[in-house]
Structure 1
Amino acid sequence: MQVELSAGTVEYTDTGGPGPVVVPVHGLLMDGTLWDAVAADLAVDHRCVVPTLPLGAHRHPMREDADLSLPGIARLVGEFLARLDLRDVTLVGVDTGGALVQLLMADGAARVSRVVLGSCEAFDNFPPGLTGKTVVASGKLSPRLFGLFMQQMRLRVVRRLPIAFGRLTKRGDATTAGWVRPLLTDAGIRRDAVRMLRAAGADPGFLREPAERLPAFDRPALVVWASEDRVMPPEHGTRLAALLPQGKLVEVADSYTLLPLDQPAEFARLIREFTGR
Structure 2
Amino acid sequence: MSATLSFTAPTAHGPQDVTLSYARLGAGEPLLLLHGIGHHRQAWDPVADILATEREVIAVDLPGFGQSAALPPSLPHDLPTTTAVLGAFCAALGLDRPHVAGNSLGGLLALEMGRDGLARSVTALSPAGFWSQAERRYAFGVLTGMRRTARALPLPLVERMSRTAAGRTALTSTIYARPARRSPEAVVAETRALAHAEGFAETLRAGRTVQFTDDVPGIPVTVAWGSRDRLLVPRQGVRAKRVLPRARLVRLPGCGHVPMNDDPALVARVLLDGSRPQPASASRTTRSTVGL
Task: Specify every segment of 5 or more residues in structure 2 that has no aligned partner in the other structure, as ranges.
Answer: 8-15, 278-292
Which of 236-245 and 91-100 deviates more?
236-245
Which of 113, 128, 133 matches 2:141?
133
How far apart are the structure 2 equivalents of 1:44 and 1:252?
22
Within 5 A, what are the aligned runs for 1:77-226? 77-106=86-115, 108=116, 110-124=117-131, 128=136, 132-136=140-144, 147-148=151-152, 155-156=161-162, 160-161=169-170, 165-169=172-176, 170-171=178-179, 173-174=182-183, 175-181=186-192, 189=196, 192-193=198-199, 196-201=200-205, 203-206=207-210, 208=211, 211-213=212-214, 215-226=215-226
> Mean alpha-carbon deviation: is it higher for 125-134 or for 234-243?
125-134
Residue 91 and residue 63 in structure 1: after superposition, are their counterparts in 2 closer, same or farther (change >3 A)?
closer
State which of 9, 15, 19 in structure 1 corresponds to 2:25. Answer: 15
Q: Is the 8 A contact 1:229 1:257 kept in 2?
A: yes
Q: Measured at CA, do residues 124 and 63 of structure 1 come closer, stay the same or move farther in structure 2, by a change above 3 Å?
A: closer
SS of equivalent to 2:120: strand
1:24-81 deviation digits (Å, cap 9, x = unpaired): 100112111111121100111111011111343x225335425352313233222211
Distance 1:35 1:230 in 2: 19
Aligned residue number for residue 2 of structure 1: 4
State the number of aligned residues: 256
Moved more, 219-228 or 234-243: 234-243
Alignment of 1:227 with 2:236, yes or no, is: no
Change (3 A) 1:255 1:55: farther
TM-score (norm 1): 0.78
CA RMSD of aligned residues (A): 3.1
Equivalent of residue 46 in structure 1, options 55, 66, 76: 55
State the partner residue of 1:74. Answer: 83
> Secondary structure of the residue that 1:231 maps to in structure 2?
coil
Structure 2 CA distance for partners of 1:203 and 1:274, relative to 1, 3 Å = closer
Identical-pair percentage: 19
* Other-structure match for 2:255: 255
The answer to whether the Cα contact below 8 Å between 1:42 and 1:272 also exists between their aligned partners in 2 is: yes
Pairwise CA distance, 1:91: 0.7
Deviation of 1:146 after TM superposition, in Å, equals 8.5
CA distance in 2, matches of 1:158, 1:78: 39
| Larger deviation, residues 246-255 vs 116-125 | 116-125
**Alpha-carbon offset, residue 125 of structure 1:** 5.2
> Structure 1: 5+ residue runs without aligned partners?
none
Pick which of 246-255 and 122-131 moved more.
122-131
Distance 2:146 2:262 in 1: 26
CA distance in 2, matches of 1:182, 1:224: 25
Q: What is the one-letter code of the residue matched to 1:236?
A: Q
Write the distance in 1 (CA, Å) between the matches of 2:45 and 2:146. Answer: 28
Q: Deviations over 1:143-193 (max 9, x none)?
A: xx99446767554467634xx631211235432321233576xxxx56x24
Return the offset for 1:201: 2.3
Matched to 1:12, the amino acid is Y
Verify the 8 A CA contact 1:7 1:62 in the aligned structure 2. no
CA–CA separation in structure 1 for the residues paired with 2:110 and 2:50? 22
